[in-house]
Amino acid sequence: MRPRNLVIDCDDTLWENNRFFMEAHRKFVGLMAGLGYDAARADELLLRLEMENVSRYGYGARSQARSMLDVYSILEPEPEKEIIEIIDEIGQEVFSHPVSLLPGVEDTVPKLSRHYRLAIFTKGNPEEQMLKIGRSPIRDYFSHVKVVPEKDSGTFLEMLAEFKMEPHETWMIGDSPRSDILPALACGVKSVYIPFSMTWGHEHHELPRSEHIITVAGFGHLERLLL
């Protein structure tokens, strides 16, 4: 039975996201190495602090920039203003990166919108996420948008209630086992998992075998599945 509503994640489902964070990570480690600090230690510290700082700073480009500043302050007891400014610039590049739609998205979303009610459900800094959503060429195909600090079964249920979507009439589409597929499963919502090669490690989680989870190779495959 086909759904009436499709709830779709945006970062690394509709458009590229983590690639820009990975590039910023590499630039920061290269900067630290160029200043004489151990590159492996800078890399390990940033990986660890990005995870630990989610509870302090949330998700997003500015959170990553703050984590980079934290690492620099650990490596250098007397941080230099010029280096802090360079780190801020690295973070700003991530914040202002272009919206690059993933293959199949631009053609498939308009077709889906003719048959289903579409909603974006994403997490992160509201300002950052809404700017990206507003810059995307597919924004107008979505009747609902919700940005939350964390995607879990609680916020998923709140989103369903707000948009007046019944779980049995709704499917979730996303690339993250942890933030997209498992919360949907816990709420009785069928989901479509679209694996992405650069999904952030924090989002990885083993998925159970379930008839309520469908895996497809790319966004364009939704046309064959749903239309």
What is d(CA 62, CA 153) in angstroms, rounded to the nearest whole number? 26
Q: What is the DSSP string of 5-33?
A: EEEE--BTTTB--HHHHHHHHHHHHHHHH
Instruction: Provide φ and ψ at 8, rounded to 5°.
Output: -125, 130
pLDDT exceeds cutoff 60 at 138: yes
pLDDT exceeds cutoff 70 at 210: yes
Q: What is the pLDDT of residue 204?
A: 62
Q: What is the pLDDT of residue 203?
A: 56
**What's the pTM?**
0.93
Q: What is the pLDDT of residue 140?
A: 98
Beta bridge partners of 121: 146
179-192 pLDDT, tens digit per residue, is 999 999 999 999 99
Q: What is the pLDDT of residue 208?
A: 87
99-123 pLDDT, tens digit per residue, is 999 999 999 999 999 999 999 999 9
Q: What share of the chain is helix, strand, coil (3-state, %, to 5)?
A: 55, 15, 35
Residue 168's CB is within 10 A of a number of other CB atoms, namely 11
43-58 pLDDT, tens digit per residue, is 999 999 998 998 888 8
- Superfamily (CATH) of domain 5-16+100-226: HAD superfamily/HAD-like (3.40.50.1000)
Q: Give 58 or 166, the one with higher predicted confidence.
A: 166
pLDDT exceeds cutoff 70 at 74: yes
Q: Quickly state the pLDDT bin for 207 (edges 50, 70, 90).
A: confident
Instruction: Parse the chain into domains and list their residue ranges.
Output: 5-16+100-226, 18-95
Q: What is the pLDDT of residue 66?
A: 95
Q: What is the pLDDT of residue 225?
A: 96
What is d(CA 164, CA 158) in angstroms, rounded to the nearest whole number? 10
Q: What is the CATH number of domain 18-95?
A: 1.10.150
Q: What is the pLDDT of residue 209?
A: 87
Q: Quickly state the pLDDT bin for 202 (edges 50, 70, 90).
A: low
pLDDT exceeds cutoff 70 at 84: yes
Mean pLDDT of 160-183: 96
